[in-house]
A and B are shown apart, each in its own frame.
Chain A
């Protein structure tokens, strides 16, 4: 026993207790951050808009319609036979992918309308899309042909409910 003395019998025990206390406090502080960090992730009402149903019967041959899904634009392109044959014969650019892997029905191309470079919305051209921000060029299969974008336009999960309706957000 160390009564009536200021000597510390084993200093390393104090150091250990100090380190232990500090680690518990540190872990607690980190745990306390979790709710705040998570509060910044998409809230449930944002997540609720996960799917959207689109009527495609009014999109004429060769026309493109831009619809909103999860706050992002989705391009629905009604492709002409000429576009289809041209796309089927091409492999794309720096991210090669056959056209057949990018569609469910050859007449309908459904892609997320966000440039894979920095997120701008490309504009429709006769041969595909052109991004006004940094000049990326996509073909009518949404594949990157030229410019700084690294990847083809992303395919959203979707399925045909009928000939005239598709649901985007769920395969």
Chain B
């Protein structure tokens, strides 16, 4: 019976061919580690956010007089409202943990390199969409941090030359963040996940065109592949199990871990809380914003700090494959960069006293220096490594082919 149904569909829609091409026959390198499972996790968290978000929207009221209380209503009175809300608020942080790890893997193993530039850029687009969605969602509880976070971030647009103030008023729909701002943020917060879902499809089409990279960095062509299903469906599901252990541990035992206490106070446009900090996932970028003494300069530095990742395929001029694996200096740069991000995050979470400010400025300089040094360091390291004779023969072969291709 089911075979008949599938046959009936296949005559009208390429269902079996699609499953075969994208899953049961889809060639995947057999040496992928668990670091390659974070893309799947990101997709899974997106589904969690979509489902919990749709159900929250059934009880939430996007009105500046009702929003804060409607969250209390969800937490106290709606059946399992507390669970759905904590799944959603924890899910936002989980999403960023997963995405940042996914990006770190790409940077470490050089997965952004030719021919995967477009794959990397669609990922960059997804990051921007996700940041916008998270930022707008954070206003919805209408607490003090929500309100002042939105005030500070919309104010960044006042740095636009010429008509900065007009843009700020237009974005807010008023002279300050108020009811019109809340309703439009809610509307966009509901819309963006669907745009993200579409962008994820594009990301996957790009992935299935260039195929997965792998830890060796070698082009395994068709000789060393295994089908995605069942090998990586099983591996991804195991990774999902581990992820969910951590996720539910927070949801059930420490659900307010990522919720700033000040956000339990309703928004008050007449009083700024003593310490305003953004959500943890924006802290490094916030620290960069604060480290530049000039407003416009700070905004530009912050924008560049997010967008500069897109330039990676061109900044990394080494043609030795495998990312950091065979390249000790690149590996050192990678770890310096990771540590630097944590330092920036720490600085962003604390008031800008003099020592903290200096630390932030040094860390900001290191952040940009790692990117700016990369073109020179990577090419110099390439020459050194190729002459050293310490690289495996097939890595040298691939590098030589890449070098020839770049001359042609």
Contacts and interface: CB of A to CB of B under 8 A. Distances in A.
Contacts of A60: none
Contacts of A133: 148, 152, 272, 276
A119 B180 contact: no
A119 B173 contact: no
B272 A134 contact: no
B276 A40 contact: no
Nearest to B154: A119
B269 A68 contact: yes
B178 interface: yes
Contacts of A68: 269-270
B176 A70 contact: yes
B152 A119 contact: yes
Interface centre among A119, A120, A132, A134 (most CB of B within 10 A): A119
Interface in B163-209: 169-171, 173-176, 178, 180, 184
Given A120-B272, A121-B271, A134-B352, A42 B175 contact: yes
A117 B174 CA distance: 19
A4 interface: no
Contacts of A18: none
Interface centre among A46, A122, A131, A135 (most CB of B within 10 A): A46
Contacts of B169: 41-42
B106 interface: no
Interface centre among A71, A122, A135 (most CB of B within 10 A): A71
Contacts of A70: 174-176
**Consensus secondary structure, chain B interface:** loop
Nearest to A46: B174
A123 B274 CA distance: 9
B275 interface: yes
Contacts of B171: 40
A136 to B, nearest CB: 10
A49 to B, nearest CB: 9
Contacts of A6: none
A43 interface: yes
Contacts of A40: 170-171, 173, 184
B290 interface: yes
Contact of A73 (B152, B180, B269): B269
B272 to A, nearest CB: 4
A80 B279 CA distance: 42
**Consensus secondary structure, chain A interface:** loop
A66 interface: yes
A117 B276 CA distance: 14
B115 interface: no
B24 interface: no
Given A73-B269, A120-B148, A120-B152, A148 B293 contact: yes
A121 B151 CA distance: 10
A34 interface: no
Interface string A97-114: 000000000000000010
B180 A66 contact: no
B35 to A, nearest CB: 37
Contacts of A96: none
A118 interface: yes
A150 interface: yes
A170 interface: no
Interface string B276-287: 100000000000
B352 A135 contact: yes
Contacts of A14: none
Interface in A1-58: 37, 40-43, 46
Given A119-B151, A120-B276, A133-B152, A43 B180 contact: yes
B351 interface: yes
A37 B173 CA distance: 11
B295 interface: yes
Contacts of A148: 290, 293-295, 298
B261 interface: no
A118 B272 contact: no
Interface in A114-164: 117-123, 131-135, 148, 150
B170 A132 contact: no
A76 to B, nearest CB: 13
Contact of B173 (A43, A66, A121): A43
A41 B295 contact: no
Given A119-B151, A119-B155, A148-B293, A42 B173 contact: yes
A72 interface: yes
A73 B294 CA distance: 24
A155 B112 CA distance: 51
A116 to B, nearest CB: 9
The 6 A-B residue pairs whose C-beta atoms are closest, nearest first, are A71-B176, A70-B175, A119-B155, A120-B272, A121-B272, A118-B152
14 contacts: A41-B170, A46-B175, A46-B180, A70-B176, A72-B175, A73-B269, A119-B155, A121-B269, A122-B272, A131-B272, A132-B274, A133-B148, A133-B272, A135-B352
Interface of B: 148, 151-152, 154-156, 169-171, 173-176, 178, 180, 184, 269-276, 290, 293-295, 298, 351-352
